[in-house]
């Protein structure tokens, strides 16, 4: 058994408090008429995501796209958006990096955008 002193625990908690918190989703909405997902993040930013850019969701029905929830797998509340009917989701981290699918999907989106 490992014993930890009160001072060690207090120091560890203080280090945790000083680490910057990763942004997470605090509010999410799907605008059916515009086919846009709007994610409000804990740091004040908003991500506006066209449904057509989201792998797995682009070809879904309106009902499937609108059926989503916010999950926290192993992290703070709201670390990913999840579509249960599609058994698919995307992380906030990936979305902030501009990833809306796998490499093949991203190349397809880039080609489409370049042709437009």
Question: Domains plus CATH for the chain?
Answer: 21-115 (3.30.2020.40)
What is the tens place of the pLDDT at every residue in 17-57? 665 578 899 999 999 999 999 999 999 999 999 999 999 99
SS3 state of residue 53: helix
Other CB atoms within 10 Å distance of the CB of residue 115: 6
Other CB atoms within 10 Å distance of the CB of residue 80: 19
What is the tens place of the pLDDT at every residue in 86-104? 999 999 999 999 999 999 9
Q: Which residue has the tokens 């999907």?
A: 105
For the record, the structure tokens of 79 come out as 């670390």
β-pair type (36-41, 46-50): antiparallel
Residue 29 has φ and ψ, to the nearest 5°, of: -145, 145
SS3 state of residue 26: strand
Q: What is the pLDDT of residue 20?
A: 57
What are the beta bridge partners of residue 27?
A: 40
Residue 74 has φ and ψ, to the nearest 5°, of: 70, 15
DSSP annotation of 52 reads G
Mean pLDDT is lowest, of 1-5, 17-21, 49-53, 64-68, for: 17-21
Kindly report the pTM of this predicted structure: 0.77
């Amino acid at each position: 058994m490992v014993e930890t002193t009160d001072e060690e625990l207090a120091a560890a908690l203080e280090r945790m408090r000083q680490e910057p918190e990763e942004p997470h989703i605090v509010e999410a909405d799907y605008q059916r008429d515009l086919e846009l997902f709007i994610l409000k993040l804990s740091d004040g930013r908003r991500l506006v995501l066209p449904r057509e850019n989201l792998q797995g969701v682009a070809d879904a029905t309106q009902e499937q796209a609108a059926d989503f929830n916010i999950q926290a797998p192993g992290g703070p509340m709201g670390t990913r958006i999840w579509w249960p009917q599609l058994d698919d989701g995307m992380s906030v981290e990936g979305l902030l990096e501009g990833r809306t699918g796998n490499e093949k999907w991203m190349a397809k989106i880039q080609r489409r955008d370049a042709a437009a």
